[in-house]
Amino acid sequence: MKKTIHFFLNGNLKEVQVKAETTVLELLRNKLELNGIKEGCGEGDCGACTVVIGEVREGRVHYKSVTGCLYLAAKLEGKHLITIEGLAEKGKLHPIQEAILSSHATQCGFCTPGVSLSILALYLERSNPTKEEFRRYLEGNLCRCTGYDSIRKVPEYLKELSVCSENLRPSFLEATEEQQLGFIQEDVFVDDGTFAYYSPVSEEHLIEFLSTHKELTGGNNLRYINGGSDVLVGIKKRNQHYRLLLDISRITSLQQISYQDKPQEAKALILGGGVSLSRVIDSTRESFSELSATVQRMCSEQVRSSATVAGNIVNASPVADTVPLLMAVDAVLTLQGQEGERSVPLRNFFHGYKQTENKPEEWIASICVPLGEYNFINFEKVSKRKEVDIAAVNSAIALKIEEGIINRAEVACGGVGATTLYLPKTSRYLEGKEMKEETFLGAFEVINTEATPIGDVRGSAQYRSAVMQNLLLKHYLAYERSQEVDGYEE
Ligand SMILES: Cc1cc2nc3c(=O)[nH]c(=O)nc-3n(C[C@H](O)[C@H](O)[C@H](O)COP(=O)(O)OP(=O)(O)OC[C@H]3O[C@@H](n4cnc5c(N)ncnc54)[C@H](O)[C@@H]3O)c2cc1C
Ligand code: FES
Ligand code: FES
């Protein structure tokens, strides 16, 4: 088991000792004296601390942008960390930096390193990015002085300079990729007596560790960490510390996305317990487009690239965005522990505020999402900003409509109780009724009997009740719109 971590920094192999709670931001600025990375919010919101990570998956190196303030340094084992210091080579600016200069997209410079690295991650991962992809990758970078229009011009300048993705690869990339592909992944364990971090490479190693390190894993000592976007905010902003952070993000078996498509069995999408939100956006666009679109409205690319669906569920926030949708379609979790595995429907997973069905040492191995049972599925969210913002209230519906009649209905709603709520009475009320506005208006009273919202900074109890009803109607309006679009195309 490794006590130091080995990773590539701008093409050079590094061996460093880190503490369990040290972030990449802290490692770079405080230990390695690379100050190009900036600290703004310290909680994933501004993008000033963006860096690029290269990691091996399915036999090739994939690149992603992450926020250094929410990415643990110990996670870097075997990875390639690219910082702003790695961009200019031999005294010459990188083409992305040239393009940023030419499009007047920099002024104070605090946000520019992060903007440059978000663009680099995009071009390293996608050979010919679309405008939409450019927007997606820049969503998490705040710039309050030059404005986004100038930043949006960067791809045009790159095109004018006839620069394609291939020319944007730093010169050290090829040799580093070769070394990364040959890197032997081992478990990492660091412990300074106060806080420990363990990152196994397989579920077998995890099970063995749980049985041999009871002093670290018993009681409330253990906290699993996946992308870390919730856990790190807790540690750094709310002083919520754990004796052991057990990182399951390097376990390959939890990274799988597959389909259950056996004869006699219902079709289903199986998401591994370590699958990131970014991978969900790309891989479910065809099979479950509503999930892809929902996830696209969560966080920012730098957060989504590491944050997981499993983390969104277990964090048990009453406004977690994947939960109402997965509840509506009746997703089932596979919980794995030392004694074996068990299945739990997501609808039965939450017991109360931040109280969940899994035992402290059980982890979500996979999430089974039934497919093809409904012909209208919709997710709605009300938040202050359209994107990169936590919801005040969110809601999902799944309907089977036949000849204008709702034959099956499933409704779930978040932000109106201590947990996300599956709403059986509202669901049954809708069944057997005509798919028309009056049916949904008629359900307003029923839905109010199923949820008792409480007020907080994002909205009063009264406001939340009203939004919950309005979102029910909005589901109907979304259906109507979808029919208009279909009609127009015909
Ligand atoms: C800037 C920012 C914006 C955000 N915006 C949104 C938003 O718009 N909508 C939204 O819903 N959320 C949002 N979030 C919250 C967060 O990104 C999500 O909840 C995310 O999906 C958490 O995943 P993670 O892997 O990072 O979880 P982690 O932080 O690693 O873990 C969260 C919890 O889940 C547990 N856990 C994780 N994986 C497993 C597993 N496989 N088995 C058992 N337990 C596990 C951990 O022990 C921990 O208790 C935002 C967060 C940030 C920082
Ligand atoms: S410092 Fe703002 S996202 Fe990290
Ligand atoms: S260059 Fe400073 S906020 Fe954008």
Residue 214 belongs to a domain: no
Residue 395 belongs to a domain: yes
Instruction: Tell me the best of 26, 66, 67 to mutate to test the pocket of ligand 2, counting ligand atoms within 8 Å of each CB and taking the most.
Output: 67
Q: Do 160 and 269 fall into the same domain?
A: no
Q: Do 309 and 424 fall into the same domain?
A: yes
pLDDT beneath 50: ranges in the chain: 489-490
How high is the mean pLDDT of the chain? Answer: 94
Angle between helix 112-125 and 131-138 (nearest 10): 140
Which residues, judged by CB distance below 6 Å to any ligand atom, belong to the binding site of ligand 1? 43-45, 70, 223-231, 233, 248, 273, 277, 298-299, 303, 307-308, 310-312, 314-315, 320-321, 363-364, 390
Q: How many domains does the chain have?
A: 2
CB 7 within 8 A of CB 76: yes
pLDDT score, position 486: 58
Tokens of 13: 């192999």
Residue 217 belongs to a domain: no
Torsion of CA 215, 216, 220, 222, to 10 degrees: -150
**Beta strand 196-199 pairing with 222-225:** unpaired
- Which one of 181, 211, 227 terminates a domain? 181
Q: Do 298 and 437 fall into the same domain?
A: yes
Say what the pTM is.
0.96
Range of the structural domain that residue 364 is part of: 256-489
Residue 208 belongs to a domain: no
The CATH number of residue 112's host domain is 3.10.20.30
Q: Do 176 and 282 fall into the same domain?
A: no
Q: Do 172 and 260 fall into the same domain?
A: no
Beta bridge partners of 355: 352
Q: Do 268 and 382 fall into the same domain?
A: yes
Q: Do 344 and 456 fall into the same domain?
A: yes
Q: Which ligand is nearest to the CA of 325?
A: 1
Distance 483 CA to ligand 1 centre (A): 35
Residue 387 belongs to a domain: yes
Distance CA 411, CA 425 (A): 9
Residue 241 belongs to a domain: no
pLDDT score, position 164: 74
CB 76 within 8 A of CB 10: no
Q: Which ligand is nearest to the CA of 104?
A: 3
Residue 209 belongs to a domain: no
- Which one of 160, 181, 202 terminates a domain? 181
The CATH number of residue 350's host domain is 3.30.465.10
pLDDT score, position 341: 97
Does 311 contact ligand 2 (Cβ within 6 A)?
no
Taking the CA of residue 226 as reference, the ligand 1 atom at the shortest distance is: 30
CB 437 within 8 A of CB 473: yes
Residue 323 belongs to a domain: yes
Beta bridge partners of 48: none
Distance CA 117, CA 36 (A): 11
SS3 107: coil
Q: Do 126 and 261 fall into the same domain?
A: no
Does 113 contact ligand 2 (Cβ within 6 A)?
no
User: Cβ contacts of residue 52 below 8 Å, gap of 6+?
Assistant: 63, 64, 65, 66, 81, 82, 83, 117, 120, 121, 124
One-character DSSP codes across 259-319: EE--TTS--EEEEETT-BHHHHHHHSTTT-HHHHHHHHTSS-HHHHTT-BHHHHHHTT-TT
- Which one of 146, 163, 181 terminates a domain? 181
Q: What is the largest CA-CA distance in the chain?
A: 71
**Beta strand 80-82 pairing with 5-9:** parallel
User: Cβ contacts of residue 361 below 8 Å, gap of 6+?
Assistant: 210, 217, 222, 337, 338
User: Cβ contacts of residue 319 below 8 Å, gap of 6+?
Assistant: 390, 391, 392, 393, 394, 414, 415, 420, 458
